[in-house]
Structure 1
């Protein structure tokens, strides 16, 4: 049994984790945030990385320390663990994350440059058939993920991105202008924090924690403490890589504001910058980056979903589950994504705060000692508040516009409601109170024993 990985193995695991995290949203959000932030881009991105890098890495570590997401969520209670874990895997997997990863590269980076006669549903079907065919093949053998993704696909993605960055920086970019939105001018730190929060990578982290632990064990590291230590090191390295790339992407967005004021999303920004410097080759470069980024994320989500649902049913093998999730994702990517997107966004905004609270509790569990009082009170309070606020989201923002009588008027008056962080202050208060109760009870029991 090995005690630690070699430097090469650490790099392979780190690039594998980076590849699973780095999808379409991670390419789109930073350039747009940079464009809006202008000269405030650096402070914006520091706080962007808190929620888009630090929290996801903490999520992977929390799952590794708890020996699986289900074990972590079971500290609340068994029913919550079953429902929450299934909701996590389904919502970020075949119900949205995987089909979106299959369709976004085509819609964002390929379709705009196709002749009108070839930009319809048939082209999308052909693209997604190839995309999900490759994802399916890679997902069938999770033991080879490091070899195929960590050694080949993710390094290829990084090489393409280095080319884009180098050409952009060498080609010369204009000076940064003033912020284009008041929120980036007046509250760049809070706005960056919210932008990073919206990547929702923390939910994906709860999925990927299982894969990272599995991959580390493939290197013959079996001791739980060593697995956790290895996860911390590999996660930190992948997080550092994510942060560096986010800063560069944001800079490109900020510098492009004067050149391409008409751009409305990160994909357009990257495409315009690349085409400006490389011509048609720039469009091909961006299409390749989007495709590889989304492919690695899809494989990670298919693999983690397949592994989890295999533990729930002995009737269906891992191969069966991978086939089911891949086929469903293919269908949704072509015909059903818009129909489920509205409802799934609401579900994601309900479970995202739960994921964050569980991660924080898991990492501080040596103080809380898996206290049922602390876990249940904070998690269920988060569930109530996030459900009320998520259902009330405006229809134009992807919500349902449902305002629950009595509860909505109370929740809407809480701090940070407008930033989808309404749960934070109440949960911190309840956490402090329940932790105090736990300390008092512990001291009382000690006195009774004496």
Structure 2
């Protein structure tokens, strides 16, 4: 149970709570299919990521041990950059700003955001360089506070909905499940499972469990506990968004929906409690991310030490956070369209690798087509012109409109690798 709650806390970043309300608002009466797609990527895939880490007995280093060394390093650098200074860490600051300060000052400006970002990341930098007992105390009490606040919000959603479910957008009517699936990318929890799965494995080892099958079993149980908790939170927040059309017709982001709902149901004291909890939770998350980046980059790229990489990562985070929440999310989407399909493929192949005669070949045959296609899609979403001819060809592949155009080529690559391996095995037996 303790490891399960730790896993829940690991994935419940305060930055994640802004996505289900906006998805729910877009989905309206089509919430069921949209939230199922969201739960698959926001909850199901992180669970599989934890199980994959348990199967190989470690984290990212073990998961990529079948890659060529340079490719493994590149993949790891991209993942740590995404969950660190380029996307996830700046998001902690802008979510804190949107939910912690903006409801009280009314109007946003580049100056107030810049001042807030500087102050936020100054505290992050100090705590990441000199963590001590203060960070442990914050982490010990803030996660339970966040759970309590989200629990109160969930009760408010159930007993005090702010209206009926709104009308669904056209995208939700035609592709609700797949839209929810891709929106779930933005939680980044699947990437977090790959990078920080080793933390969960070490927690299980610390309790005296060393047998690989038992470790996998306890990791699965911990993942299930975390998944149930995350599902409840996301379902409540999604329903909040679906029934909030009377509060806001065209929300800019999910943070706006949460703030207006809390103000309508709980009043000013609710806004204060939400603001304090979210800021502290985001602060704790940001410190953890900066510390992880400092440890990783100082080990793999040792021309700077831990403190140097923490300073660089924090400065980059502070600069990027000043683009604001809406622009940051827009920048994040193309990158996630590239990274997420490859992360999904990596997890799936890892779960199968003990049943494969040549797992390295399977990894190559699956990840290469998935990586090429997802890169084209991501660059197209970013508006890069030279990929247009390749992107035009993707229109003829299945599931292109659903956003899963990489799926069939990846599966065909896996089948091809299996047939080649089976053919070699048959030839060896006949020889």
Residues 284, 39 of structure 1: alpha-carbon distance in 2 compared, 3 angstrom cutoff: same
Q: Which of 308, 319, 324 is equivalent to 2:312? A: 324
State the partner residue of 2:121. 132
Residues 143, 375 of structure 1: alpha-carbon distance in 2 compared, 3 angstrom cutoff: farther
State the partner residue of 1:28. 18
Task: Report matched runs for 1:26-425 at 5 Å.
Answer: 26-66=16-56, 67-107=58-98, 109-114=100-105, 120-121=109-110, 123-136=112-125, 139=128, 148=137, 151-177=140-166, 179-219=167-207, 221-222=209-210, 224-313=212-301, 316-334=304-322, 345-393=333-381, 399-404=382-387, 406-425=389-408
Q: Which runs of 5+ in 2 are unaligned?
A: none
Greater Cα offset, 60-69 or 429-438: 60-69
CA contact (8 A) 2:95 2:255 kept: no
Alpha carbon RMSD of aligned pairs, Å?
A: 3.2
CA contact (8 A) 1:168 1:274 kept: no
Residues 133, 12 of structure 1: alpha-carbon distance in 2 compared, 3 angstrom cutoff: farther
Instruction: State whether structure 2 residue 10 is matched by structure 1 residue 17.
Output: yes
| Distance in 1 between residues matched to 2:106 and 2:164, nearest whole Å | 35
Residues 216, 242 of structure 1: alpha-carbon distance in 2 compared, 3 angstrom cutoff: same
TM-score of the pair, normalised by structure 2: 0.87
Residues 323, 182 of structure 1: alpha-carbon distance in 2 compared, 3 angstrom cutoff: same
State the partner residue of 2:426. 443
| Distance in 2 between residues matched to 1:91 and 1:336, nearest whole Å | 17
Cα deviation for residue 88 of structure 1 reads: 0.9
| Distance in 2 between residues matched to 1:126 and 1:216, nearest whole Å | 41
Greater Cα offset, 47-56 or 412-421: 412-421
CA contact (8 A) 1:139 1:302 kept: yes
CA contact (8 A) 2:53 2:197 kept: yes
Q: Which runs of 5+ in 1 are unaligned?
A: 1-6, 394-398
Greater Cα offset, 371-380 or 219-228: 219-228
State the partner residue of 1:3. none
Cα deviation for residue 87 of structure 1 reads: 1.0
Q: 1:279-300 CA deviation, whole Å, 9 max, x = no partner?
A: 3233324423542443343234
Greater Cα offset, 237-246 or 289-298: 289-298
Cα deviation for residue 369 of structure 1 reads: 4.3
| Distance in 2 between residues matched to 1:164 and 1:405, nearest whole Å | 45
Greater Cα offset, 158-167 or 226-235: 226-235
TM-score of the pair, normalised by structure 1: 0.84
Cα deviation for residue 255 of structure 1 reads: 1.6
Q: 1:348-376 CA deviation, whole Å, 9 max, x = no partner?
A: 32222111110110011122245222111
| Distance in 1 between residues matched to 2:121 and 2:249, nearest whole Å | 35
| Distance in 1 between residues matched to 2:327 and 2:239, nearest whole Å | 35
| Distance in 2 between residues matched to 1:259 and 1:406, nearest whole Å | 43
